[in-house]
Amino acid sequence: MDFTQWDLLYKQIIKDMGFDQAEDERATHLLSQLLYKHKHTADPAVLSKLIGRNRVLVCGNAPALATELKKSDTTDYDVIIAADGATEVLLQQNIRPTIIVTDLDADNIEAEIEASKQGTIVLAHAHGDNIEAITSIVPKLENVIGTTQTKPLYNVYNFAGFTDGDRCVFLAAHFNAASITLIGFDFEDSNVNEIKKKKLKWAKKLLLILEKSTDITYK
């Protein structure tokens, strides 16, 4: 999905959610400035090398992820992409994700920092609600790449997507994965607040749109 297509959806999302594009842009510029000074950024070209023509397993952060992981053979996949807090669940089962997609609000953010130091690529996402987290966490990450949901900058990228989970899938599609399999996704989770429910509805809608051009398998 190119930026023009994504931007139309983004405008609908922020209107529905009541978010402020100016704040998203402010967060994006802050992230850009931090990455400019950062000594441990990753080259985005590595994403194409890792994902392109490879089998990708995307791990969402639904409560069932731990159980679903035990039923899955992760060695069937070349690349594992974790959505934010899914990182901790993977590490608890001695699985280090290849890539983490995060807006830096996981309960155990230290798990993501540690994974980055072991070689995991971290896509740190900027939006208006996580400016404080960007400032405090991004400098601690290694192998970090910046992303945004609004207009990209020279060192902050937009691969489309809104929530951590659907951004993982858009990332895999953007870099032409051979296959994309999803576990740990629950768009109907009733144990979340109203804002999260709206976000899950948008995640589901976005992936349905993506499925029109991309083969996605749910397990």
pLDDT in tens, 75-128: 999 999 999 999 999 999 999 999 999 999 999 999 999 999 999 999 999 999
pLDDT value at position 19? 97
* Backbone phi and psi for residue 154, each to the nearest 5 degrees, phi listed first: -65, -25
Each domain of the chain, given as residue ranges in start order, spans: 3-218
Going by pLDDT thresholds of 50, 70 and 90, the confidence category of residue 184 is very high
Share of residues in the chain with pLDDT > 90 (%): 99
Structure tokens at 116: 């980055």
Going by pLDDT thresholds of 50, 70 and 90, the confidence category of residue 201 is very high
Share of residues in the chain with pLDDT > 70 (%): 100
Give the pLDDT mean for 28-37. 98
**3-state SS assignment for residue 196:** helix
Handedness of CA 146, 151, 152, 154 (dihedral sign): negative
* Mean of all residue pLDDT scores within the chain: 98
**What is the 8-class DSSP label of residue 84?**
T
Q: Can you tell me the distance from the alpha carbon of 100 to that of 87, in angstroms, rounded to the nearest whole number?
A: 7
CATH class of the structural domain 3-218:
alpha beta
* Interval 144-156: pLDDT, tens: 999 999 999 999 9
Checking if the pLDDT of 190 tops 90, the result is no
pLDDT value at position 186? 97
pLDDT value at position 130? 97
Would strands 216-218 and 179-183 be described as parallel, antiparallel, or unpaired? parallel
pLDDT value at position 215? 96
